[in-house]
Chains A and B, each alone.
Chain A
């Protein structure tokens, strides 16, 4: 039993070191990505298109719904305590600092994380990776880095859109229930919103984007030979991404508020 535990720990440690090495290689290749003209640019554009642009609709609907819910609940509940002005603070904390990056990361994980893991897993099973290596293409440079940058950029851009739709789009919904002058709403919102709030949300988005893309690509490359490993890799990518996103969110929140 002790031997089993020891072997398991050794394998885990080796796996961790391998993943750290993989992450290091991704960062190293990312730094070199923009300094040289390469075909990976087209992959990057398509990755942003699929991960960012195509997720915009669901992201916007979620943002508007959550923003409207906070507006409606806040405008009916907070006046009972004489704290109506806190509605904007709550809206900003929930939309900009917490739920914006978190829900966007979940959406990207569910949509693109699985897609990336599945796609790379399929390429491994089909020996495409070996073909890339055979013709002198670095698979990390050509396959991982565009996806890594694409997911991170999409995450950042979608978080900005989530903030816009959550803070401003919900205003349209609120107008149906409780008409409020737009200038008054915007003035109060912008007086409460700080650069720290925006930076906090974008920092989380950056970290979550890195987590999702690295985990998805790593899990995609972890497929060996059988095609049955591909959906398993996708599931592992989603599960591990969710866990790491939540852990990262907690750590970043602690750093910001500590």
Chain B
């Protein structure tokens, strides 16, 4: 087997293994009045031993350059991880967020010294409300799950303010794992409902689950299967008739910008994943940002403070007696928010709509090329992502995991596997609008090639990545979570 891809492999030691006594990697400004350290601390609080590695600056740089070469990002190639929207992260956004006025701006500076940044935050709040069809917005939550938690606290407070004690959240079985986890953190009981045979919300199951105890129904639309919820109007009606709120998980908003707005569908609360839909880098797991927007009726419950505009002045409004309080320190991940502001400014209304159209076009293109081999279990048209099944490989001992590893050895990041849980050997594919047709073809060709490949080869993959198949079972059984726990060799 020959591959056109070979990832870098450096036998790069850990920082502590590279350490040599006496080396320093940074210069510290001078200071004359140095005191005796033992006089600076209460009795018994002086540190006895400090184990930090000792490296010079070139060694630190080389270390991280080598690590980066052993990593794959969206800047390396296609990264069609379903529900994660791994789109291109525009470089101008990083430049703006690195502006030295922002990087040295302290969160407790007086409002009159930060008018420009408050203006950006205000404009972002307004733009997100417009895109979502909502009325008011908070930028505070640090990630999508934090947004869900915030939204559910708002639901809790809303019902409580009406003397209505509702303690259940209904969630479809295809939902992201964060949905039930956030519901529990906000003090609710989770009622899971099964999806209908076509992958949509089972309206009868929903109606059966709704009661005077239901605080909210949480869904993504399009669903995690990439399917637009055909019964959204009936769902909305049923929830509101039962006195429940409707929550929109914004993880899949990249399908619908400028096409259809959650607010117009009847959603009461939604969160946005700025690190998905609005192009901010995922950073190997974070930071992200998960703003939450709500209808006019719920606006008073948003966390404090909210950025408001009075005349030509921007203010942080802390005087909101019905607010749920706070969900994160200060005002949110401002460095991330600014990037999303720049992205929306760059694209405008038409550019955002075109983004969603092309995201759906790209996903539909892949689907049309592979579905005769990798069946898509639900027949409905898909949007920005779809879920195919690698179940047919089972008869020869293969799995979705094998497909993932074989894609990796061809230099293509695999799709999400084994999610949603309702599809056997799931491959959840979301290419985003950022990929060229040629890259999509390369991805499809690889998938089709894998399906025809010799089963003898499957478990050998991946052979061209930095390491071959990683033993995650031993990792969990024999925990090594820092370098002091590594066996001496």
Physical interaction between A and B: no
Residues of A whose CB lies within 8 Å of any CB of B are none
Residues of B whose CB lies within 8 Å of any CB of A are none
